[in-house]
C-alpha cells in the first residue's frame, strides 16, 4: 500500500501539469479509501448492486417527498383511495414516494387493509 503511494507521489513530482497531478492525488485518495473499506469489511460494489442503483436512478425525480412528509399525508390519502378517488393522479408526489419507498408502501397497504376491514364489517 505504502509502496504504491510512494510510486504515485514520485510520479506527481515528475509531471509538471497540475491537472495530471490532481488526478494522481485523487487516485491516491481513492486507493486509500478502498483500503479502509476493505479493512472495515464493507462489501464491494458488485455488478448487481450497480444495476440496482441505476434502476433506482431512472425513477428518481428532482422533487420527491420525504418519508415524514408522506407519513403526515398518508391517512388522508388512504381514505381518499378508499372512497374510490383517483388519488394517483390527484397526488402524484405521494404516489411516487409509495412506489419507490418499500417501508412507506408497506405502511400504506397496512392502513388500507384496516380501512377495508372496518368497512366490510
Partner 1 sequence: MSALYCSIPGPVSNISVKAFRTYAVREKISKKRGRATHAPFFRASPIQLRNSWPFNIIPGKQAGSLNYTHIHYNFPHMTTRTNDQWLSDLRTDGATREAALEDLRAIIARGLPFALSRWLSPASPQFESLTEEVTQETLLRVLDQLHTFEGRSMFTTWVHKIAIRIALTELRRKRWQDSSLDEMVDNEEILVSPRILEDSHPTPEESAERTDMLARIRRVINEELTERQRRALIMLGMQGMPMEEAARRLKTNRNALYKLLHDARLRLRQRLQAEGLDVQEVFSAFEKV
Which residues here bind partner 1, judged by CB under 8 A? Answer: 26, 30, 33-34, 42-43, 45-58, 60, 62, 64, 66-68, 71, 73-76, 78-79, 101-103, 105-107, 109-111, 113-118, 120-121
CB-nearer residue toward partner 1: 10 or 60: 60
Please state, in angstroms and rounded to a whole number, the distance separating the CA atoms of residues 90 and 105: 17
CB-nearer residue toward partner 1: 16 or 118: 118
CB 3 to partner 1: min, Å: 22
* Nine-digit cell string for 4: 504504491
Q: Cβ distance 97 to 65 under 8 Å?
A: yes
Number of residues written out for the chain: 121
CB-nearer residue toward partner 1: 14 or 60: 60
CB 21 to partner 1: min, Å: 17
CB-nearer residue toward partner 1: 1 or 10: 1
Q: Cβ distance 30 to 4 under 8 Å?
A: no
CB 102 to partner 1: min, Å: 5
* Nine-digit cell string for 7: 510510486
Candidates 43, 47, 64, 44; CA nearest to 55 is: 47
* Nine-digit cell string for 102: 418499500
CB 52 to partner 1: min, Å: 5
Amino acid at each position: 500500500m505504502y509502496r504504491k503511494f510512494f510510486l504515485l507521489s514520485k510520479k506527481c513530482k515528475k509531471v509538471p501539469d497540475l491537472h495530471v497531478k490532481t488526478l494522481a492525488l485523487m487516485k491516491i485518495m481513492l486507493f486509500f479509501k478502498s483500503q479502509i473499506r476493505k479493512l472495515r469489511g464493507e462489501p464491494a460494489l458488485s455488478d448487481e448492486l450497480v444495476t440496482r442503483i441505476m434502476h433506482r436512478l431512472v425513477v428518481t425525480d428532482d422533487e420527491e417527498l420525504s418519508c415524514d412528509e408522506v407519513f403526515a399525508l398518508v391517512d388522508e390519502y388512504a381514505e381518499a383511495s378508499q372512497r374510490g378517488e383517483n388519488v394517483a393522479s390527484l397526488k402524484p408526489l405521494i404516489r411516487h414516494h409509495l412506489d419507490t419507498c418499500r417501508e412507506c408502501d408497506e405502511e400504506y397497504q397496512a392502513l388500507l387493509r384496516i380501512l377495508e376491514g372496518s368497512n366490510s364489517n
